[in-house]
Amino acid sequence: MKKAQATMFVIFGLIIITLLFTAYYFRAEIISSFEKKTLEEQPIISQISLVKTYTEDCITESLNEGINILGIHGGYINLPEDEFPNAPAGLLTNSLDIFGDGGIKIPYWSYKTLNGLQKTQVPTKQQMESELESFVNTETISCLNDYQEFKLQAYDIFYRPPITKIAIGDDAVIADVNMQLDVTHKETTQNFKNFKVKVNSPLGRLYSRAIELFEYESKTTFLENFTLETMAIYDEIPYSGVDFECSPESWLKSNVILDLKSILALNIPTLKIKGTDYKLRNAKDKLLVRDAFKAAEKDMTVTFMYTREWPLIVEVIGEDSELLMGKPFTTENEAAQFLLPLFCLNDYHFVYDLKFPVLATLTEDSYTFQFPIMGVIDNNQPKENKANIQFFEDGIDICERKDTRMRVIAVEKTSDGSSVPLENVDLKYNCASQECRIGTTRLEESGFALTSQFPQCIGGKLIASKDGYHTSSKEIDTNLQGTVAIELEPYHELQAEVLINDEGTIREPYQTEVVLFQIENRDMDYFTTFFYPYNDKIKLLPGNYKITATLLVQSNQGFKLEKTDVEICSDVPQRSIAGLIGLTKKECETQQIDGMKLDTIIGGGGSFLWNINKKELLTSNKVVFYANRGPTPQNIMDVSELYQNQQKFSKGVKKPTFE
């Protein structure tokens, strides 16, 4: 038995040794075979991975480009629609044209329309993310170029358009892209679905500080106040004061405007924001620092800019001529009257309306975020902020707390006075600067209406809109449930024609003439323009209108206006100790206005009131507008007088007619 057991152990030992020897013997061959197989597969997988890397690079490139566009255009990729797309150069619209050639337009975050309405168009972070998502989707497809480079190398690639979700943070922008991508190469297939790209960018922080800066300007109007302070310092700008010269000082309005442009261009950039990266020239410059940010941003620079090439609209209240002059001091105070023979006194007090753009630029780590604000001064006072400024970044979301059940009926009034309920009317509710989407009117049991939940609010505004209709708003309280009706008026689009009343002769406009009609219906808060020859149709509503026409004459050769000598005369008190009170003498001086060359000058226009009857509007297909043509200006004084006193063209103006 012992011998048998020993024999079995020997046999098992031999088997184990044999297996170990076999494994060792074939080890090199097995490993070599495995490595060979791996090396054969690895290049294919690696080459397929190139397609994934290529895709990620395209997403990154598109995201970077979109971030830069958002920063340059004040948080917009797609610019808001302009009410005055063809307005003449020099008129302020809803965007600042940086170089004057249409290359870079940046929407104003706050501006005043040509008809005096104050508006804001501040993008929210959600809007920025949404626009960036669409941009990345489109630009990524363009960048991929259908993977033509890979398909030429025998790749079989199938993919679906990307669906991107963007998150803008303080230090980075992240793109989560859902995109099915199937790649086959040399009978090997790999599938990709999700791509995640991160770009280190302070876009979110720059935007947040821009919002703080905009809110600070809205509350303090520091840009307008600084401008008024600057105007009061410079002698080139007639503002307010008294002097003792016997010949009142005078200024030419055209020179004042040019000087004011230079003064703004020189002084606006001196403003600084506390806590940012800047240097002061001296201790007195501390007065130029504004405390706009809630926290310091030592790595961020903030600059303000105005250039002389940008528009500046100046109106001096009560001054209709080119010449601005101080007035001899007069008073009913008897004590002052006794002093008049002893001194020459002149009173200066000019009241201005100004509109001018200021570009605020925030920069960090080579990334830039900039937005323009329209500075507005009315009667020597900073603008009053009446616009609805909407911010959704912080605080309570009112729209999520809908507790009141309301029923809304949107109707259209017909010509016979009856009301017709409308379907597909989009309803929103504005409360505490937050706009909540409610829904769309549809067929209910009792007709077209919308029964839905509203946030509780006192003094909120219901807003109703529908394609082809003028947006309507109505103030309603939603603290108690109920039913409310809101009326919408449809637009009536007509063909439009322009004729010129040239000293009694009605003719068609010359090729050198363009006419801008500003058409305002204040009853319905509706404002539109018609700019001949660039428009051929116009949308109108019934009601009372104020129409202002400006006829501009253009010339490729330009209008050469000769220099002009102007004699300025005034009555000044005589210097006489024993003279009679109130005696004056006439003194005159001559000033020369330099000549200039203009490409466009005002040659006519007119202003008038106009009522549109609804029945007449419904039965017409065409409207004809008229503008008066006046004499062509011959010198600077003529041009200035026409710009400042266009009412002279209103005499005998012919009102529009329907056909």
What's the confidence (pLDDT) of residue 641? 59
Do residues 409 and 524 share a domain? no
CA pair distance 194, 431, nearest whole angstrom: 39
CA pair distance 451, 482, nearest whole angstrom: 10
Residue type, 299: D
Q: What is the DSSP letter of 87?
A: P
Give domain status of residue 80, yes or no.
no
Strands annotated E in 88-162: 95-97, 105-107, 110-112, 118-120, 156-159
Give domain status of residue 297, yes or no.
yes
In terms of C-beta density within 10 A (0-12 exposed, 13-18 middle, 19 or more buried), how is residue 483 classed? Answer: exposed
Domain boundary among 382, 416, 450: 382
- The torsion region of residue 98 among left (phi > 0), alpha (psi -120 to 50) and beta comes to alpha
Do residues 500 and 480 share a domain? no
CA pair distance 67, 476, nearest whole angstrom: 40
CA pair distance 16, 530, nearest whole angstrom: 101
Give domain status of residue 391, yes or no.
no
Q: What CATH number is attached to the domain comprising 480?
A: 2.60.40.1120
Phi (first) and psi of residue 247, to 5 degrees: -105, 110
What's the confidence (pLDDT) of residue 241? 54
Assess contact for 406 and 452: CB atoms under 8 A.
Answer: yes
- Residue 119's contacts (CB-CB under 8 Å, 6 or more residues apart) are 94, 110, 111, 112, 113, 387
231 token code pair: 């105007």
Task: Give the three-state DSSP class for 136.
Answer: helix
Give domain status of residue 285, yes or no.
yes
Do residues 515 and 581 share a domain? yes
Closest CA to 168 of 80, 63, 241: 63
Count of domains in the chain? 4
- Residue 631's contacts (CB-CB under 8 Å, 6 or more residues apart) are 603, 638
Do residues 43 and 183 share a domain? yes
Do residues 477 and 625 share a domain? no
What's the confidence (pLDDT) of residue 636? 61
Residue type, 468: G
Beta bridge partners of 200: 172
CA dihedral of 99, 100, 102, 106, whole degrees rounded to 10: 60
Query: Vertex 306, ends 303 and 312: CA angle to 5°?
Result: 155
Q: How far is CA 243 from CA 247, 349, 487, 569, 572, in A?
A: 10, 12, 60, 18, 13
Domain boundary among 490, 508, 536: 490
The helix or strand, by DSSP H or E, that contains position 17, with its residue range, turns out to be helix 2-72
Q: What is the DSSP letter of 562?
A: B
CA pair distance 567, 592, nearest whole angstrom: 9
Give domain status of residue 525, yes or no.
yes
Q: How far is CA 53 from CA 49, 56, 144, 197, in A?
A: 6, 5, 11, 11
637 token code pair: 């004084």
Give domain status of residue 498, yes or no.
yes
CA pair distance 328, 244, nearest whole angstrom: 10
Assess contact for 597 and 559: CB atoms under 8 A.
Answer: yes
Strand order, beta sheet including 346-349: 240-243, 346-349, 327-328
Give domain status of residue 101, yes or no.
no
Domain boundary among 350, 382, 414: 382
Assess contact for 160 and 144: CB atoms under 8 A.
Answer: no
Assess contact for 597 and 561: CB atoms under 8 A.
Answer: yes
Do residues 603 and 476 share a domain? no
Do residues 247 and 296 share a domain? yes
Do residues 353 and 212 share a domain? yes
What's the confidence (pLDDT) of residue 40? 41
What's the confidence (pLDDT) of residue 550? 84
Residue ranges in the chain whose pLDDT is less than 50: 1-7, 9-12, 14-17, 19-20, 22-42, 89, 242-244, 246, 329-345, 387-395, 572-583
CA pair distance 424, 347, nearest whole angstrom: 63
Do residues 359 and 466 share a domain? no
Do residues 448 and 539 share a domain? no
Do residues 476 and 435 share a domain? yes
Do residues 343 and 431 share a domain? no
Range of the domain at 272: 204-382
Give domain status of residue 390, yes or no.
no
